[in-house]
A and B are shown apart, each in its own frame.
Chain A
Amino acid sequence: EPEVTQTPSHQVTQMGQEVILRCVPISNHLYFYWYRQILGQKVEFLVSFYNNEISEKSEIFDDQFSVERPDGSNFTLKIRSTKLEDSAMYFCASTFMTGGQPQHFGDGTRLSIL
């Protein structure tokens, strides 16, 4: 069964450094999402992306965050200058279409900021 894959599984970065999290959505999917989950807390929506532009973003997704689909297969989340509070699991999700089609999630990247 097709899967959403995320790399790396664990990323350790010094505070203030830039980090790029990578996702390969399911191949025929058109809608892409990033969520995050701070340890012990809820899964939170960050951003949705369709047709090469952001559709919606949450308050968390400030100017330090950006997303890109650099080619036909990858979907990336960049954090420009990481903070300690960015430490979390980051999940990528994709769906073929909205309107009753489920989002499928990857297994996440654990981001640890030192």
Chain B
Amino acid sequence: DAKTTQPTSMDCAEGRAANLPCNHSTISGNEYVYWYRQIHSQGPQYIIHGLKNNETNEMASLIITEDRKSSTLILPHATLRDTAVYYCIAASNFGNEKLTFGTGTRLTIIP
């Protein structure tokens, strides 16, 4: 699986858009980009994923660059409940792809 690189921490004002970057320069053509978050020690919560097209769901938007070497998760109107550790993971779409978690980005939403 491709390694991903994320900033260690970020702050965002409540009500503003939170933009979380992720570099995955060694991603291969059969690897999806998944985003999860973890609030305290709860189980990782799935947010969104994509292969090459931009994606949007009720939680967030995912923007993937054309060369697929990086992506940005966008939380459009951050709330205090969005304070969490956010993980960007590249995982193959073949076989029982395991998820390899890094240290993620600790996002703090500031009132």
Q: Real complex partners, A and B?
A: yes
Name A's B-contacting residues (CB within 8 A). 4, 31, 33, 35, 37, 39, 42-45, 48, 50, 55-56, 58, 89, 91, 93, 98-100, 102-108, 110
A-B Cβ contacts below 8 A, count? 64
| B96 surroundings in chain A (CB, below 8 A) | 31, 33, 48, 50, 55-56, 98
Size category of the B interface is: 20 to 34
A102 near B94 with CB under 8 A, answer no
> Chain A contact residues: over half helix, strand or loop, or mixed?
strand
B43 near A108 with CB under 8 A, answer yes
B43 near A106 with CB under 8 A, answer yes
| A37 surroundings in chain B (CB, below 8 A) | 41
B95 near A98 with CB under 8 A, answer yes
| A99 surroundings in chain B (CB, below 8 A) | 93-94
B29-52: CB near A (< 8 Å → 1, else 0) gives 000101010100111111001010
